[in-house]
Amino acid sequence: MNTREHNYPTHTVTNQVPPMEDYNVFLTNPLLANFVRNHIPRDDSIVDYASWLGRGETFELARLANAYSPVLKSYDRIGNRIDRIDFHPAYHQFMEQSIRAGMANYPTPNGSNSHLRRGALLYLASEVELGHCCPISMTYASVPVLDKCGSEFRDIVEKLREPTYQPDLGSWQTKTSLTCGMAMTEKQGGSDVRANTTHAENTKRGFWYVTGHKWFVSAPMSDIFLTLAQTDEGLSAFLIPRVLPDGTLNRLLVQRLKDKIGNRSNASSEIEFLNAHAYLVGEEVRGVKTIIDMVGHCRLDSMIGSAGQIHFGVAQAIHHTRHRAAFGTQLIEKDLMLNVLSDMALESSAATLLSMRLALADDLALHNPEEAALRRIGVALGKFYVCKREPALIAEALECIGGSGYVEEAPIARMFRESPLNGIWEGSGNVNALDTLRAMEKDDAATNALIDECRPQLGNVETFDAAFNNLLKMLTNGDDIQWRARSMVEYMAKLLQGSVMLEYAPPAIAELYCNSRLSPTYSGSIFGTLDRFDNPKKFIDEFFPEDNIIY
């Protein structure tokens, strides 16, 4: 039989965009790299980690970790309760690499690591795979809570700081490194933790029995958990180990895993404590005050994670428009597309600088009360605003890419599902808006810190000066303040971002940000509405330099 080879022209692939991979996610972000290098010594380990994150194989690991979600195995084959959660090996690779890089490591005073270095690592990891960042964030944030208890939990604190990953079950006494989860939310109350009904009973034998149902617990495979429970005296904080000293499982029953919209690689669950062994953390009745440091650090991490994802979304859109042609030229050459990309790049620049500035404040706060106050109000502002901007920006980036982005093979699709997450976890928008007001009402330090951070930038851009003076007027008006909380907090967040842009970004770009975001006519609802400015293509190329990417 004669055969004939058919060469169909429809099978010739043209005008398609190569994958954005095999690049260094740190070196291709000059704004982030310059900020970090200006404040901490050169650290090649960040570059090495960023190189691993940008590999094509690593993006494939991220896809696999999310395509094959964790699976709960409640019983072994002969009926013993084991509550084991099985993950795709790709998830464990992310955990191992990120913990080894120091992402879970809460800095020691005067140590070589810093909150800024660690914040940069989290930012970079969030661009590629967000799910594994959750248990790492909680592990990092648990250290200051337990450290305040002195020698009582010193061994645990040292193991939480250990940069190795041990996923197998074991007691904290025998393992050399640990991870920590947080169990707060209950069916009848999420942010309102004082509505918790979980109860703790003192055994008078050095530990407590905790009984109750926690409605949303992420990272249930952690070695230890910090939780809140009601004692006879009031709401108190407790540490609950997953495995007891004798190697038996604690009475911590994983009832089911949550079927989440996104964040599929990370296990989230409902857990029932049934006379679970627990250890009091801090003073009885002062549970919220004891655990507030952990919440604060996790909120900053949510903001940093959103900033990283925002940058990735813009980078994906820029990459696509550089390689995709329409109507005779590359998309990036079109004026309207340049307007959209420039507007999104401005948003990303401000989110990046604000998140890193607040990570730096963490380092400086140890010896500087003004920096501690700035961090207090800045995290509430940033968690509110940056996390809210992420879903709108990722949707716009996806629109720049078009239909090829709206399929599961595209990384931007996973990012789109992830985009609302950081705005919800660790306090929604309303919680953080009210937290900002609470910080301002409690004492003047937070408000003064915000004003003092912005004041040195006066005299550079008229719109910034006008916005600053307008804020001073707003602060004197206490009428109906809770009703106005969102608009006021948004205004303060944009002003703070304008301040960090003026301090750390190129002057022309900082002025562009202020003239757009702080203008009385700016709505912020649509990207791509900038006034004409000089050489937008140059700005895009500086934001995400093409010649540093290896295809």
Using H for helix, E for strand and C for coil, what is the string for 236-249? Answer: EEEEEECECCCCCE
- pLDDT band for 549, please (50, 70, 90 cuts): low
Q: Is a pLDDT exceeding 80 seen at residue 108?
A: yes
Q: Is a pLDDT exceeding 60 seen at residue 551?
A: no
Summarised one tens digit per residue, pLDDT across range 80-103 is 999 999 999 999 999 999 999 999
Distance (Å, whole) CA 199 – CA 213: 10
Q: Is a pLDDT exceeding 50 seen at residue 550?
A: no
Q: Is a pLDDT exceeding 60 seen at residue 169?
A: yes
- Say what the pTM is: 0.96
Q: Is a pLDDT exceeding 60 seen at residue 45?
A: yes
- pLDDT band for 333, please (50, 70, 90 cuts): very high
The whole-number average pLDDT for the span 56-75 is: 97
Give residue 421's identity as a one-letter amino acid code. Answer: L
97 in Cβ contact with 124 (< 8 Å): no
- Residue 280: left (phi > 0), alpha (psi -120 to 50), or beta? beta
Question: Of 13-22, 129-138, 391-400, which range is least confident?
Answer: 13-22
* pLDDT at res. 55: 96
Q: Is a pLDDT exceeding 60 seen at residue 51?
A: yes
Mean pLDDT of the chain: 94
Closest CA to 242 of 138, 167, 133: 167
Distance (Å, whole) CA 351 – CA 543: 13
55 in Cβ contact with 97 (< 8 Å): no
Residues of the chain by 3-state class (helix, strand, coil), percent to 5: 55, 15, 35
Question: What is the percent of the chain where pLDDT is above 90?
Answer: 87
| Tokens coding 36 | 């970090």
Q: Is 223 exposed, middle or buried (0-12, 13-18, 19+ CB in 10 A)?
A: buried
270 in Cβ contact with 255 (< 8 Å): yes
State the angle between helix axes of 56-67 and 89-101 in degrees (0 to 180), rounded to the nearest 10: 120
* pLDDT at res. 442: 83
Closest CA to 126 of 260, 40, 57, 26: 26
Distance (Å, whole) CA 442 – CA 454: 21
Question: Of 103-112, 150-159, 299-308, 508-517, which range is least confident?
Answer: 103-112
The whole-number average pLDDT for the span 179-194 is: 87
The whole-number average pLDDT for the span 458-466 is: 97
CA distance readout (Å), 251 to 228, 240, 350, 442: 16, 10, 46, 40
Distance (Å, whole) CA 185 – CA 216: 6
Q: Is a pLDDT exceeding 80 seen at residue 61?
A: yes
Distance (Å, whole) CA 551 – CA 543: 18
CA distance readout (Å), 212 to 91, 199, 497: 30, 6, 42
Closest CA to 231 of 263, 258, 209, 260: 209
DSSP state of 189: B
- pLDDT band for 479, please (50, 70, 90 cuts): confident
- pLDDT band for 196, please (50, 70, 90 cuts): confident
The whole-number average pLDDT for the span 40-58 is: 95
Classify each residue of 462-487 as buried b or exposed e, where b means 16 or more C-beta atoms within 10 Å of its C-beta. Answer: ebbeebbeebeeeeeeeeeeeebbbe
| Tokens coding 432 | 């953080």
